[in-house]
Structure 1
Amino acid sequence: MALNLVDVKSEYAKDKDLKEEDVKAFIEWVNKQPHLPEINEVQAILFLQSCYFRNEAAKAAIDTYFTVRTLCPDLFFERNPKNSPLKEGLDVTLFSVLPKLTPDGYSIIFMKLMDSNPDNYNFAMQLKYFDMVCMQYLHQQGTSKGHLIVLDMKGVVFGHLTKLGPLTMKKFLYYLQEAMPLRLKGLHYFNIVPFMDKILALMKPFMKKELMDMLYLHNTADDMTKFVPKDCLPQDYGGSVEPLNVLHEKVKSNLMQNVPFFEWEDKHSVDESRRQGKPKNVSDYFGVEGTFKKLELD
């Protein structure tokens, strides 16, 4: 099974703060936790680097990562891109890690609706797709000094807002902030919509201050050049990166060619019966689903 994981030698060469002895010690600790799956060197590097080599933070992150993924199968399992309904979901949105870094050395995770019909939009399916793109990229391309999430909201209509469930939003934002091995440096929305306040009202209860402080709203792509130079963006925005439609086809093709990677990831789950101490369940992290009030839409 070819996973095409990044060469760890290139990761050690990339960052002088990454020490092989720290990585080996981290792997040994994880593999001694009876409830966690065994990990490899690439996974250890991703979590240590994303936590700025703070060992205890990396331990908490990787435990949360595997636990949340296990407890939320709607977002993190059945991820074969050749199977429905995920296959159709890939046509709805573009999620791409763009090839050009910012002057700060940050990677850009770019998002854009390619099908603006809200009837075809499934929020949980799109979050699954986002995670697939990000995790495949991290495992196969390695670490980055930082990551910017950039969302073009053109094509988003009020019907999409009605698809954003509070519990699904809570699950995803918790995972993004507490578990994903990203060095998140900014969350940038542009071409913002008139009902952006309602979207933010849904998100803000689940956002820590650190994430709120890196949230930026821009009217156009030109307005965010301080953070994301136009040259780093696709040609559709005056940049030098391939056009959106070409990027979209490349992303879909890449996912289709990496089915073994997603099958490998799907095998990594937590065995709560073997956790030392009290086993975790969904309500420990997200409360009871019935306690979430329906989103009020004026």
Structure 2
Amino acid sequence: MGLADVKKEYEKNTKLKKEDIENLRSWVQKQPHLPELSELQYILFLQSTYYSNEQAKKAIENYFTVRTLCKELFRNGDIFNPGIQMALDVAVISILPRSDPNGYKVVFMRLLDTNLDKYHFVDHLRMFDMLITLKMHLQGTNEGINLLFDLEGVSFGHLLRLSPVLAHKYLYYLQEGLPIRLKNIYVANAPYWIDKALAFFKPFLKKELYDAIHIHTDLESLYKVIPREIMPKDYGGEDVDYVKVLAEKNRKIFEENEEFFKEQEKQITDESKRLEKLDNYSNIFGLDGTFRKLELD
């Protein structure tokens, strides 16, 4: 499976204009610290920001700068790294083939192995990012993405293994850099301690995204918004594989795209070439100290 066809992207996105892509490319070329982008990447950034050139510029700056500075999250994407291999054993993350009734893609996530000793938060963040990055390059643009977490088997001990610093870094990147339209976050089979989990993540989320979190204590209420038929077969889905098969496919697609991940690691900023030398990282983003709070190494 190759990367998304650029020509088809222009055909399916009628608001996508060549001149806007060229204007964005011209701006990037005047920023010597930024890496070279492919035309597909320009399309992803522009479409994800609803065709706003200014917002796309901010997203590009945020995306590559965070990926450069947060080495523990983005600079160890070897698919055969033991941490990544363990994460692939422990959890499944899959973009379901069929969209929800609003036309949004659903990123389905759940644990396969609930053994606490095998759960390492940083590796799961890395696996999530690797899969999302790969899929958006393979599938191209979409109208929006819903995240669906099935917490069946997740214990309070898993919550205690989360790192506030890593969560803050990644959620900043997810909201301000990653070229996707994040619409909703659904939590299924929510445990009794879900309020503590929400309290953990709330400081790192924009109000509009926090308000888009939907809690379901069972699956029946979830099916009112995410139809059963688009779910994996374990849940009664019609044309999606069983969860374990999805996990096996994840490992295969990672291995098939080893070179893609290697190229992604090379696509970073060169801070020595940044035109405006800055005293602190917050000025890179123009967000009044937001990034400084991430406690970068």
TM-score over 0.5 for the pair: yes
Contact 1:116 1:155 in 2 (8 A): yes
Matches within 5 A, 1:158-169: 158-169=156-167
Counterpart CA distance in 2 for 1:186 and 1:226 is: 14
Q: Find the counterpart in structure 2 of residue 262 from structure 1.
A: 261
- Any conservation in 1 of the 2:79–2:255 contact (CA below 8 Å)? yes
Q: Distance in 2 between matches of 1:233 and 1:280?
A: 48
Task: Summarize deviations over 1:180-213 as a string: whole Å, max 9, x none.
Answer: 1111110000100111111111100111111012
d(CA) in 1 for partners of 2:126 and 2:187? Answer: 20
Q: 1:286 to 1:86 in 2, by over 3 A?
A: farther
Aligned residues: 288
Q: 1:263 to 1:44 in 2, by over 3 A?
A: same
CA distance in 2, matches of 1:272, 1:120: 36
Task: Supply the AA of the counterpart residue of 2:225.
Answer: F
RMSD of equivalent CA atoms: 1.6
How many Å separate the matches in 2 of 1:218 and 1:72?
33
Q: Greater CA deviation, 117-126 or 80-89?
A: 80-89
Corresponding residue for 1:237?
235
Distance 1:31 1:250 in 2: 38
Could you tell me how far apart the structure 2 residues matched to 1:163 and 1:140 are?
A: 32
CA distance in 1, matches of 2:116, 2:130: 22
1:197-216 to structure 2, matched below 5 A, reads: 197-216=195-214
1:211-230 to structure 2, matched below 5 A, reads 211-230=209-228
Give the Å deviation of 1:10: 1.0
Alpha-carbon shift at residue 287 of structure 1 (Å): 2.3
Instruction: Give the match's secondary structure for 2:82.
Output: coil
The Cα of 1:15 is off from its aligned counterpart by: 1.1
Deviation at residue 225 of structure 1 after TM alignment = 2.5
Of 13, 16, 26, which residue of structure 2 is paired with 1:15? 13
Provide the C-alpha distance between the structure 2 equivalents of 1:87 and 1:201, rounded to a whole number of angstroms.
Answer: 30
CA apart distance, 1:282 = 5.9
Identity, in percent, stands at 45
- 2:104–2:142 CA contact under 8 A, matched in 1: yes
Answer whether contact 1:98 1:108 (CA < 8 A) is retained.
yes
Measure how far apart 1:288 and its partner are: 6.5
Question: Which one-letter code corresponds to 2:113 in the other structure?
Answer: D
Per-residue Cα deviation, 1:51-98 (whole angstroms, up to 9, x for no partner): 000110010011000001111111111111122222222111101111
Secondary structure of residue in 2 paired with 1:287: helix
1:287 aligns with 2:293: yes
Q: 1:281 to 1:65 in 2, by over 3 A?
A: farther
AA partner of residue 94 (structure 1)? V
Pairing of 1:90-239 with structure 2 (within 5 A): 90-239=88-237
For the residue of structure 1 that corresponds to 2:50, the secondary structure is coil
Rounded to whole Å, the distance in 1 between the matches of 2:163 and 2:292 is 13
For 2:274, the aligned partner's letter is R
Q: Decide whether aligned partners of structure 1 residues 136 and 281 sit closer, same or farther in structure 2, where only a CA change above 3 A counts.
A: farther
Give unpaired runs (5+ residues) of structure 1.
Answer: 291-298
- Structure 2 alignment gaps of length 5 or more: 283-288
